[in-house]
Chain A
Amino acid sequence: AQSVTQLDSHVSVSEGTPVLLRCNYSSSYSPSLFWYVQHPNKGLQLLLKYTSAATLVKGINGFEAEFKKSETSFHLTKPSAHMSDAAEYFCVVSDSSGGGADGLTFGKGTHLIIQP
């Protein structure tokens, strides 16, 4: 069984300051991990993914995440927040064992607020 815990339901930062969205996962197998973003009234867009290659993953719009197996974490960061980053962010895990469902398991989401 797999699960995802997003440690903060809301994060508020000032424009131009760093962003940190925290995520811990649990998986029976070697997981694939993703971060998706959902802007208001829009669908979900993939920011980045980890699939057992490099542990530091770079994504779109300046976001990156580091896979830390010892800490079972996959935190999302961005050096400098922009107003357009305001959205809901989902940490997602997929069991990549190959034998089970391909459905993704989503965290509850973190609402990122950018203060001007």
Chain B
Amino acid sequence: DSGVTQTPKHLITATGQRVTLRCSPRSGDLSVYWYQQSLDQGLQFLIQYYNGEERAKGNILERFSAQQFPDLHSELNLSSLELGDSALYFCASSASTSGGTHEQFFGPGTRLTVL
């Protein structure tokens, strides 16, 4: 158990809909990262927040957004969903502020299916 929790575990929705994925980092970790794992794209970094502020963006679509709240939990919002958004979405946390040398601890993921 990494200490990172993600809800829900599974999500099934229809095209055009909007969903919110939730992540609670390990106790004391200030950085939260979101990743998408799909069969065709593999594992891709989406976005990072550090202590409530957006720190870095990866391959995140404009239809997707995220935020980190004062209690450090984070939400990833996916809107105008398309079939191709079906994937496993991971959240990770770390104590790192920069450099990427610290281990990132991954949650169990949310499996999103868009029908």
The chain A residues found within 8 Å of chain B, CB to CB, are 32, 34, 36, 42-46, 49, 51, 90, 94-109
Instruction: Specify the chain B residue showing the minimal Cβ separation from A99.
Output: B98
A42 to B45, CA, bound (A): 18
Shortest Cβ gap from B108 to chain A (Å) = 4
A106 to chain B: closest residue by CB: B43
In the assembled complex, the Cα of A95 lies from the Cα of B99 at a distance in Å of 7
Q: Which residues of B contact A (CB under 8 A)?
A: 2, 4, 31, 33, 35, 42-48, 55-58, 90, 92, 94, 96, 98-101, 103-109
Number of A-B residue pairs, CB cutoff 8 Å, is 77
A2 closest partner in B (C-beta): B100
- Mostly, the B contact residues are strand
Kindly list 13 other residue pairs between chains A and B, CB separation below 8 angstroms, not including A36-B106, A103-B48, A104-B45.
Answer: A32-B101, A34-B103, A43-B107, A43-B108, A45-B2, A46-B104, A49-B103, A96-B99, A101-B45, A101-B57, A101-B58, A102-B31, A109-B42
